[in-house]
Amino acid sequence: MQIFKIVTNNIKTIICTFKTNSLHFVTFHLLFQQVGFVYLSMLPKLLQKGDKIGIVALAKKISLNEIQPAINVFKSWGLEVVVGKTIGAEWNQFGGNDEERRADIQVMLDDHSIRAVVSARGGYGSVRIIDNIDFNNFLHKPKWLIGFSDVTVFHSHINKNHNIPTLHATMPVFFHENTNEALKSIKKAIIDGEMLYKIQSQFPEYCKEGKVESEIIGGNLSILYSLCGSPSSSNTHGKILFLEDLCEYLYHTDRMLQNLKRNGFFSNLSGLIIGNFNDMKDGPIPFGKSTEKMIFDFCKNLDIPIFTGFPAGHIKDNRALIFGEKVLMEVNGGKLKLNLS
């Protein structure tokens, strides 16, 4: 019997999947208007010793040697590692051409013996293959999809269209430099079923007190901006939005935020978590605001909790966040308490 969790939100499609006596899965797609109602969310099962985890290159090319530290870590957790055909593949800057990368992730999603799939690295390329992936087998037996940055395409697409939790976390290319806390946060999420953070902000002036129970979505600001108007664009209504990015000009960051605002991204949020924005760039004439203040100003008048400075993004201490699963967020005195509800 599949495990479901009841949550509430605004979506167009409810997908109910269950096992019949003949052991076949039947999926019914019931179409609704975009109004509030109760729907079902299937949870990927937690991993156990001996389970398989796949590593693929969804975007930029990467060698087997570069992911060896991650292979060693996963094996130390008792997991069996399945290396995809795109690891070591090369087509210009990509880990194989679009069809090779699509086929590799498709195999990982379709193979029910593989219980989690992690993107080896980000870069650029996920958006080139997302529309040609068949998620039917993934819906029948959900598994953890792990990554960040360019993988925001998958987080957003799966949350919007399939309502299955995913894990925003560091990737194999960074394992050699990640903190122990960052790596342990992945293990806690996919093996122990835990996510608990108590963090003091370095930007208390850009925090706003409050308490909310909802699910986290979001990811890389540039990717979310690029997905606007597409079938993969996030539905933020009633959600806690998480944002991170790197190496962007401040004026362009404001442009992206203005576009998200015009697309209603901030209108009905229930909470906001601002992650790391490192190596941001200014022009010869200063823009006049830091990224943290910029984002805070977009949402400061909303009646929602806001926390600035969560350790996630393009940093060594990149802590895992479970997207699409209900959490309890509480901000008080510049301190954040975040845990699964």
Segments making up each domain of the chain, as ranges: 4-42, 52-192, 196-340
Is 80 exposed, middle or buried (CB count within 10 Å of its CB: 0-12, 13-18, 19+)?
A: middle
Render pLDDT for 193-227 as a digit per residue (tens, 0 to 9): 999 999 999 999 999 999 999 999 999 999 999 99
pLDDT at 27 over 80: no
- What pLDDT is stored for residue 43 in this prediction? 84
Sign of CA dihedral 182, 84, 325, 272: positive
Decide which of 286 and 28 is more confident: 286
Q: Rounded to an integer, what distance in angstroms lies between the CA atom of residue 46 and that of residue 116?
A: 9
Render pLDDT for 270-302 as a digit per residue (tens, 0 to 9): 999 999 999 999 999 999 999 999 999 999 999
Residue 171 has a CB neighbour count (10 Å cut-off) of 25
pLDDT at 313 over 60: yes
Q: 28-37, 288-297, 301-310, 323-332: which has the minimum mean pLDDT?
A: 28-37
Binned at pLDDT 50, 70 and 90, residue 42 comes out as confident
**Cα-Cα-Cα-Cα dihedral of 307, 308, 310, 314, to 10°?**
150
Q: What is the amino acid identity at position 229?
A: G
SS3 category, 253:
helix
- Helical (H) or strand (E) element with 16: strand 13-19
Report the CATH architecture of 52-192.
3-Layer(aba) Sandwich (3.40)
pLDDT at 233 over 70: yes
**Cα-Cα-Cα-Cα dihedral of 251, 255, 261, 262, to 10°?**
150
Across the range 327-340, mean pLDDT stands at 98
- What pLDDT is stored for residue 35 in this prediction? 37
Is 247 exposed, middle or buried (CB count within 10 Å of its CB: 0-12, 13-18, 19+)?
A: exposed
Sign of CA dihedral 104, 73, 127, 124: negative
Q: Would you tell me the crossing angle of helices 291-299 and 250-262 to the nearest 10 degrees?
A: 20
Binned at pLDDT 50, 70 and 90, residue 41 comes out as low
Across the range 150-165, mean pLDDT stands at 97
Looking at the domain 196-340, which fold is it?
Glucose Oxidase; domain 1 (3.50.30)
Nearest Cα neighbor of 155 from 90, 271, 234, 215 is 234
Q: Which two tokens stand for residue 163?
A: 């309502």
Across the range 228-252, mean pLDDT stands at 97
Across the range 312-337, mean pLDDT stands at 98
Contact 295, 260 (CB under 8 A): no
Q: What's the helix, strand, coil split of the chain in %, to 5?
A: 30, 30, 40
- Helical (H) or strand (E) element with 103: helix 98-110
Across the range 130-139, mean pLDDT stands at 97
Q: Rounded to an integer, what distance in angstroms lies between the CA atom of residue 269 and that of residue 255?
A: 20
- What pLDDT is stored for residue 182 in this prediction? 98
Q: State the pTM of this model.
A: 0.89
